[in-house]
Amino acid sequence: MVSLVKPHGADALKPLYVADEAARVALQHEAELLPSVVISSAAAANAVMMGAGYFTPLSGYMNKADMLSVAENLTTADGLFWPVPIVNMLKDVSAIEGAKRIALRDPNVDGQPVIAVMDVAAIEEATDAELEAVAEQVFATTDKQHPGVANFLAAGNFIVSGDIQVLNYSYFADDFPDTFRTAVSIRNEFVERGWNNVVAFQTRNPMHRAHEELCRMAQEALNADGILIHMLLGKLKPGDIPADVRDASIRKMVEVYFPPNSVMITGYGFDMLYAGPREAVLHAVFRQNCGCSHLIVGRDHAGVGDYYGAFDAQTIFQEKVPAGALEIKIFEADHTAYSKKLDRVVMMRDVPDHTKEDFVLLSGTKVREMLGQGIAPPPEFSRPEVAQILMDYYQALDADK
């Protein structure tokens, strides 16, 4: 009998996608007659996540009080534990002023179709100072060189809150038909596979040997029935590897190196926040909604640059997440690398007798250089089949320059 962890703050998932086709078609017709506004990519991604049930139990976009409370206390104004504001922020609200029901248009799809219909609860203005305070609390910086901060502070000062009904999953379902999954379908598949304990691995990058072995270590340590490799499919910062290349390389790694029925490869439609510790907690919330019992949180999880300490994304769970706020548990991982001494991948904390020279360590810059030149990284660092896919990508990039 499969018994998965309960969704966050609810007895059952609350997907906001209108699944009934007749109701959805009727809503699409209504939407064309409503006042409408093109929302930001971040707000569209929030709609996708709410539509897919990942952001259970939210029923729509947060208001200003919720945004400020979540930023400061990690709870909404009425006490729901939540780590990151889920908001629809706009620069200009003249097209929807006074409207009680509006259509939200998707900036990421040609023709800007309606992604959701919203019952407007409030349109509130936040000052620049208030938004900077929120950025400081969520991202731990107000530096606009930080990609998450830059996006947040550029979205606009008007917070449009209210419940939504979601009409589609933006470009994710069409562009990634084999990979994009809703929290509802992931949870259902766990039941079909008979998986009770599932460990989730979050990634926005291709997986090297160290990531592969980390998944195995976690599965073994937790006696998990399976691994959910769950990749971000939305917008990243310039220079990051696109989702289709990541997808291909991860699928090849799992196909060759993992036993059948031990891994599910899936993706979710969200733009990367690079919010480090806060985003790690958000990752935990929506992996719990998927039915995962554990989430691997490693070194500099969801980080960027030098904005966060190496293990801040682990300590936030002890310091800021109240007991009982989440059912999902964290598997704390150290930096993982291939040991020349032991001829296998290890966590560095488990081998205190090693020096830096005992590991196969390559910087991201060095790996990109090698791949661009058609040189495969050593097999201790990257599986040859994975390296080939990445070499093809980087060499095509160089050829286009």
Give the pLDDT confidence score for residue 52 in this predicted structure. 98
Look up 204 and say whether it is catalytic: yes
Query: Could you tell me if residue 353 is inside a domain?
Result: yes
Query: Could you tell me if residue 91 is inside a domain?
Result: yes
SS3 content of the chain, % helix, strand, coil (to 5): 40, 20, 45
Tell me: do 228 and 160 sit in the same domain. no
Give the pLDDT confidence score for residue 400 in this predicted structure. 74
Q: How many domains does the chain have?
A: 2
DSSP 211-272: HHHHHHHHHHHHT-SEEEEEEE-S---TTSPPHHHHHHHHHHHHHHHS-TTSEEEEEE----
Tell me: do 169 and 203 sit in the same domain. no
CATH of the domain at 395: 3.40.50.620
Tell me: do 125 and 217 sit in the same domain. no
Q: Above 90 in pLDDT, residue 96? A: yes
Give the pLDDT confidence score for residue 1 in this predicted structure. 81
Give the pLDDT confidence score for residue 261 in this predicted structure. 93
**Site of tokens 């070194």:** 299
CATH of the domain at 162: 3.10.400.10
Phi-psi region of 248 (alpha: psi -120 to 50; beta: other; left: phi over 0): alpha
Tell me: do 224 and 313 sit in the same domain. yes
Each residue of 125-154: pLDDT tens digit? 999 999 999 999 999 999 999 999 999 999
Tell me: do 334 and 366 sit in the same domain. yes
As a whole number of angstroms, the distance between CA 340 and CA 83 comes to 40
**End position of a domain, from candidates 145, 173, 201:** 173
Query: Can you tell me whether residue 335 is helix, strand or coil?
Result: coil
Sheet holding 336-339, edge to edge: 344-347, 336-339, 359-360
DSSP state of 109: S
Query: Could you tell me if residue 7 is inside a domain?
Result: no
Each residue of 209-254: pLDDT tens digit? 999 999 999 999 999 999 999 999 999 888 888 899 999 999 999 9
Each residue of 294-351: pLDDT tens digit? 999 999 999 999 999 999 999 999 999 999 999 999 999 999 999 999 999 999 999 9
As a whole number of angstroms, the distance between CA 43 and CA 104 comes to 9
Please name the amino acid found at residue 351: V
> In whole numbers, what is the pLDDT of the chain averaged over residues?
96
Handedness of CA 234, 56, 97, 72 (dihedral sign): negative
Q: Above 90 in pLDDT, residue 2? A: no
Q: Which of 24, 101, 204, 216 is catalytic?
A: 204
DSSP state of 6: P
Look up 246 and say whether it is catalytic: no
Averaged over 25-32, what is the pLDDT? 98
The DSSP H or E segment spanning 19 is none
Q: Above 70 in pLDDT, residue 401? A: no
Could you list the residue range(s) of the whole structural domain that residue 221 is in? 177-400
**End position of a domain, from candidates 173, 208, 230:** 173
363 — pLDDT class (breaks 50, 70, 90): confident
Tell me: do 325 and 276 sit in the same domain. yes
Give the pLDDT confidence score for residue 237 in this predicted structure. 83
Contact between 340 and 360 under an 8 Å Cβ cutoff? The reply is: yes
Q: Which of 205, 216, 251, 368 is catalytic?
A: 205
**End position of a domain, from candidates 111, 139, 173:** 173
Lowest mean pLDDT among 83-87, 282-286, 349-353, 362-366: 362-366
